[in-house]
Chains A and B, each alone.
Chain A
Amino acid sequence: MNPVPVHRVPFIAALAACLCMAGCAGVDMFGPPPDGRGAVRTPDGRPLPPQAAMDTIAIGKSSKADVLSALGQAIAIPFDSGYEVWVYRWPGADKTPRTASELVVLFDPSGTASKLRLRPGYAPRD
């Protein structure tokens, strides 16, 4: 392997520090976005349990506007294909992704809900 050029050393040192940080990034880094996206809120501001939230969405009928109105702002993940995934989360006891419940809605390119699933939170790892 060729030696690393001197002019790259500061960059590499900084990168190494970042990588160490990245390697240490554990589950405690997880949490709902600070702006409140992904936390279900009804139009009058009430929280809803996962199943009740799921029941407000009709596959093949509900639009993004319908879901936004019923449940509030989701964590939205748009794709180049035109599909978009929306996620609502209910944190579990230890605030990790593993224990969180999730409602996941898939919108097709026309903006209509085409798939829906509820992921239960699982028990924390020992």
Chain B
Amino acid sequence: MARRSPLRHALQLALLAGCSALHAQQSPPQEKPKTALPPVTVSGTSSEPVEKSYRKMVQGMDYFERARAAVAPGASLRFKLLPRKPGTDMDHIVLEVIGTTFDYRVPIAPDHTFVLERNAKALQENAVVSPNRRRLSMTWRTEIRTPGLPANTRRLGDLRLECMVGLEADLVSNNGPIGRIADLFTDKKRYCERAEARYLYFADRPLFSVTLVNGARREVLPIDQLYAMASDDPGLKSDLPYCDCEVLVDRTYFLPLGDRSWPDDTRVEFEYMDDRP
């Protein structure tokens, strides 16, 4: 039987979960010494910031506003920063919106989430949203949550919208060659409607189990939907540098986003490794 090769696995992860290592691989020769440096986090302004397009992120916010009534009517949108490399200092990040004639700081909550305010000048000047961290040291996601849910649960509609807004805001492509190919070959939002979509989610803590619950129907996700498919890839360790899940593998999971037999109100229940039995 044919097996999924580590390379293809890496490419899947790369496209669908925000790999940007290939972008680094494709960097001009003069940038190579920088990418060869050890993966340490630098406090203060970095010469290789992990930055995102303000316009793209606002595009994601616009998409959220258009779609939420149907998918997640009670939810709110935040963006989230996550570590990508070991030792990344996540507690002292300075996040700024930087245009050509201005810059201003964006407050980050203790859980590393933030809200992006709408700013006409930032749009006009095609500003960037820039944390003071080295490229590849962090990754980004959306955080869309309906308030009032029981502990250790999420709502499937919120998570479906996270995929769509995340792709619309370009949080997972890093604008490398992979992202451009994705633009050519896929409709990003339709991708989130695929039953086998491989959009990587990160739970709050290391996972032991994820269960979908809708009324009396309960289904536990198979192990290949957890841990970035590690169960099917003994070579995952060597693939990890290509994945933005590198230091969060034990928190990752996929969802059957396009399986409409699970309505948006489906509860996603998490059992964590450190939960008491």
The secondary-structure label for the interface of chain A is mixed
In the complex, the answer to whether A11 meets B26 with C-beta atoms within 8 Å is yes
Interface residue B31 (Cβ < 8 Å from any Cβ of A): no
Interface residue B66 (Cβ < 8 Å from any Cβ of A): no
B224 → chain A closest CB, angstroms: 5
In the complex, the answer to whether B185 meets A87 with C-beta atoms within 8 Å is no
Q: A97-B225, A115-B208 are in contact. Are A29 and B7 (CB under 8 A)?
A: no
- Note all chain B residues with C-beta closer than 8 A to A59: 277
In the complex, the answer to whether A20 meets B185 with C-beta atoms within 8 Å is yes
Interface residue A19 (Cβ < 8 Å from any Cβ of B): yes
A105 to B15: give the CA distance in the assembly, Å: 31
A15 to B26: give the CA distance in the assembly, Å: 12
Q: A11-B26, A102-B223 are in contact. Are A75 and B231 (CB under 8 A)?
A: yes
In the complex, the answer to whether B11 meets A77 with C-beta atoms within 8 Å is no
In the complex, the answer to whether A4 meets B180 with C-beta atoms within 8 Å is yes
- Note all chain B residues with C-beta closer than 8 A to A75: 223, 231
- Note all chain A residues with C-beta closer than 8 A to B232: 30, 33
- Note all chain A residues with C-beta closer than 8 A to B247: 80
Q: A79-B206, A83-B273, A117-B208 are in contact. Are A97 and B11 (CB under 8 A)?
A: no
A97 to B223: give the CA distance in the assembly, Å: 8
In the complex, the answer to whether A25 meets B4 with C-beta atoms within 8 Å is yes
- Note all chain A residues with C-beta closer than 8 A to B183: 1
Interface residue A31 (Cβ < 8 Å from any Cβ of B): yes
Interface residue A64 (Cβ < 8 Å from any Cβ of B): no
A16 to B180: give the CA distance in the assembly, Å: 10
A22 to B144: give the CA distance in the assembly, Å: 28
Interface residue A8 (Cβ < 8 Å from any Cβ of B): yes
Interface residue A26 (Cβ < 8 Å from any Cβ of B): yes
- Note all chain B residues with C-beta closer than 8 A to A20: 185
A29 to B22: give the CA distance in the assembly, Å: 25
